[in-house]
Amino acid sequence: MNNIGEIMKAMDKKTKKRLQIGALYVVGGLLFMGTACAASDLGEMATKITATFGAIGKLITGVSYVAGLGFAIGAILKFKQHKDNPTQVEIGKPITLLLVAGSLLFMPALLSSVGTTMFGTGAKTAGASGTTIGGT
């Protein structure tokens, strides 16, 4: 075994999967830290990392809406399958899909109100300037 191809052939599926997931974690960490490491000092690095959290929040919100719509469409299709053949598709499946869809669609509004309840309207993040959460 002198090359990577032979080593990969000798591994079982579980080990290959773990190796792939580990590689994804490494690549994701490098991408996340790439902008932060370009900073000249620790404060600037913290500011850049904090700025990416807003983008991550927007990404989670967008994925939540799209997944919610997908689950709603899946629930409609399962209701149709239940109507066509009630013995094969139980009524619990489309109801569960509908509840998951509603949860995903209302999650961004829920997170916003929970954040306001916990931290108030003027919440700031801790950083190099010394401000704290809930401080002014």
Q: Where are the domains of the chain?
A: 1-38, 52-118
Q: How far is it, in rounded angstroms, from Cα 132 to Cα 122? A: 11
Determine if the pTM surpasses 0.85.
no
pLDDT digits (tens, 9 = 90+) for 103-131: 999 988 887 787 778 777 765 555 445 44
Amino acid at residue number 82: H
pLDDT digits (tens, 9 = 90+) for 22-81: 888 887 776 666 655 665 677 777 777 777 777 777 888 888 999 999 999 999 999 999
Cα–Cα nearest to 51, from 64, 72, 35, 67: 35
How many degrees, rounded to 5, is the angle at CA 19 between CA 17 and CA 23? 115
**DSSP character for 124?**
-
| Residue 85: strand, helix, or coil | coil
Task: With beta carbons less than 8 A apart as the criterion, state whether 101 and 69 touch.
Answer: yes
Rounded-to-10 torsion of CA 15, 16, 21, 27: 130
